[in-house]
Chains A and B, each alone.
Chain A
Amino acid sequence: MSVAETTTVPEPSSAASRKRLVSTRLLRSEVRLIGGRRRNQMGLLVLAAVPIVLAISVRLSSNSSGGGPDFLDSVTSNGLFVPLAALTVEMGIFLPLAISMLAGDAVAGEANLGTLRYLLTVPVSRTRLLAVKFASLCIGALWGVATVALAGAIIGIALFGTGPLTTLSGSQLDFGAALGRVLLVVVYLSACIAALGAVGLFISTLTEQPIAATIALMIFTILSWILDAVPQLEWLHPWLIVHEWLSFSDLLRDPPFWDNVLRGLGVDAAYAAVFWLLAWARFSGKDVTS
């Protein structure tokens, strides 16, 4: 979605009305709708609670060795490991669940409420509606990932300080550079979740039940994780949406190792494009009887 300034051109056909070629009003309204919904606010609190619980429990337990998630062992050395550990944990279920709920609301939710028919008769073209809905899901993805990272960074720094960060290659990064790496991770994981959002947007056009769309996308995600864990299906792994998600740890090498991350972004872009087009193909000619 381009965020270009609104421009107006005179519409010769009708006297008073002028059509805007580009407007961000609907997108802003979408974001307000997502952010204003109590359920989503609660969801964000849950997302933010994970790093806090994680940090406090590590702080309280003197013995931090053992089979926790990656990064957890390093948490005590630098506060910025808290957001990274939390993101590792939440990429499994919580963040996909968050985008599943937003994707369920996107089209199926509007159809369920009946607001879809009123949006379409405003009129909002179906293509534009899907574009705006996907843009809002991308913002939602960034919102969720950033919330985890921010809550993690704040509690981590508060409990463990801002010492130099030891990279996975063994070298040390100063705090500023380490913060930059965390921001890269946030952007990468937001793209991963946004691509999942495109899958959810397609599912959302198939039903009028937002819960059904949410559950279907969760099943899709969990199935992808399961397939990714079956060694016999190794040929399939590079094409699974979740396969490169945890490769974000490559960004914490020195220098960052880009191959897997770029491959992951490529797969994300392919999923986003294919499923957005599927959503469009499904939605553009569909009878809206809700």
Chain B
Amino acid sequence: MTLPVTQVSPPAAAPDTSVPVADPAVETRGLSKRFGSRLAVDGLHMVVPRGAVYGFLGPNGSGKTTTIRMLLGLVEPTSGTRSLLGHAIPREASRALPQVGALVEGPAFHPYLSGRSNLARLDAADLWSDPRTARTRIDAALDRVGLLATAGKRYRAYSLGMRQRLAIAASLLTPRELLVLDEPTNGLDPQGTREVRHLVASLAEDGATVLISSHLLSEVEQICSHLGIMSDGRLVAQGTVSELRGAGVTTVGVTTSQPSDAASVLGRLGVTDVEVVGDEVRGHPGPVAPETIVAALVHADVPVRGFAVTTPSLEDLFVGLTGEGFDVSG
């Protein structure tokens, strides 16, 4: 199934042009990164509006993590610019990053320190955090991810799910305007995934902008207001969820014992790409309302056994854009 979709990879097409976002939380212009001969990220124009929950999707190896590293100033782009909360990175990173909580490429902590000590170390490194409230803030962050009871255990004894939660807790040590969460549900069981989704939703309700990356659409679809889809280093689609959903083309299908009659009725109405498969007639109605089609069929005495209107799911869109299967783009 091929799907015509909103392509944004050539600079500033489709949804970008609709409404220019004022003061976005994240903005990149022509962001590219070359590692040796490989172009890991290619001319990214990414816009995350304030208050959005932006699902950053793409298969493993499509350049999501490199993009996130560039956003946070860990990796210097080969070309292009990026800004967080209106501050250019890396020049004004010290103004932007204190308001940004980040989880980058999985959790990483000192194995022989406890969960709490690891958070205390990160808090100690923060010139913007108040040492007098450190204890309370650390406990609150641990509580929020459900780790308070095991906070005293050494990190090495944590399961992958607990490690992931600790990394999320680390991004919540101080109030944040922007959360950048790279694959936060990696390694979590379905229960844990659901909890992370609830957590992200509640953070967004508190007013934070969230950029959440995943290679699984199903994990983030329900909580996202916006989506950006990466494939092979390029941002192949970006927009609000409804914009992207609308980008898929609606199909009508008529099941009938007289498919050729039905096909000619559909053709007269202006339905395009009409095709007959067995006893089913399919086509793209475009602006033609489905009820008009049904009325016309009945009027033409075509016996209708079944009538279906299908819009492709986001999953179809995602798979159509990024390809299916286990190939890691490299």
Contacts and interface: CB of A to CB of B under 8 A. Distances in A.
Interface of A: 6, 11, 13-14, 16-21, 23, 25-26, 28-29, 33, 36-38, 113-115, 117-125, 285, 287-289
A18 B122 contact: no
B198 interface: no
A17 B69 contact: no
A122 B122 contact: yes
A121 B125 contact: no
Summarize A's interface: helix, strand, loop or mixed.
loop
Interface in B85-130: 93-95, 97-100, 102, 104-113, 120-122, 124-130
18 contacts: A14-B128, A17-B99, A18-B130, A25-B131, A26-B125, A29-B120, A29-B125, A33-B110, A36-B112, A36-B113, A115-B109, A118-B102, A118-B170, A120-B73, A121-B73, A121-B104, A287-B75, A288-B74
A21 B128 CA distance: 9
A19 B127 contact: yes
A14 B131 CA distance: 18
Interface of B: 69, 72-76, 93-95, 97-100, 102, 104-113, 120-122, 124-131, 170, 174-175
A123 B124 contact: no
Contact of B113 (A33, A123, A287): A33
B128 A121 contact: no
Task: Name the residue among B107, B108, B125 with the largest chain A CB count within 10 angstroms.
Answer: B125
Nearest to B129: A17
Contacts of A26: 124-125
Nearest to B96: A123
B84 to A, nearest CB: 11
A122 B126 contact: yes
B100 to A, nearest CB: 7
Task: Name the residue among A17, A29, A123 with the largest chain B CB count within 10 angstroms.
Answer: A123
Given A6-B131, A115-B110, A121-B72, 18 more contacts: A11-B128, A17-B98, A20-B128, A26-B124, A113-B108, A113-B109, A113-B110, A114-B107, A115-B109, A117-B69, A117-B72, A117-B104, A119-B125, A121-B97, A122-B122, A123-B93, A288-B75, A289-B75
B123 to A, nearest CB: 8
B121 A29 contact: yes
Contacts of B95: 13
B108 A19 contact: no
B105 A117 contact: yes
B108 A117 contact: yes
B67 to A, nearest CB: 13
A79 B170 CA distance: 51
A114 B73 contact: no
B122 A25 contact: no
Contacts of B102: 118, 121
A102 to B, nearest CB: 14
B108 A118 contact: yes
Summarize B's interface: helix, strand, loop or mixed.
loop
A289 B33 CA distance: 12
B105 A114 contact: yes
Nearest to A27: B124
A286 to B, nearest CB: 9
Task: Name the residue among B94, B95, B109, B122 with the largest chain A CB count within 10 angstroms.
Answer: B122
Contacts of A120: 72-74
A20 B127 contact: yes
A211 to B, nearest CB: 16
A42 to B, nearest CB: 13
A23 B108 contact: no
Contacts of B108: 113-115, 117-118
A25 B127 CA distance: 9
A16 to B, nearest CB: 7
Contacts of B69: 117, 287-289
A118 B168 CA distance: 12
A130 to B, nearest CB: 13
A16 B312 CA distance: 46
B14 to A, nearest CB: 32
Contact of B104 (A6, A16, A118, A287): A118
A11 B98 CA distance: 12
Contacts of B104: 117-118, 121
Contacts of A29: 120-121, 124-125
A14 B98 contact: yes
A269 to B, nearest CB: 28
A18 B174 CA distance: 12
Task: Name the residue among B104, B112, B113, B124 with the largest chain A CB count within 10 angstroms.
Answer: B124
A23 B129 CA distance: 11
Contact of A113 (B73, B111, B128): B111
A238 B82 CA distance: 50
Contacts of B125: 25-26, 29, 119, 122, 124
| 8 nearest A-B pairs in the assembled complex, by CB-CB distance | A114-B108, A25-B124, A123-B97, A29-B124, A288-B74, A287-B75, A17-B128, A121-B102
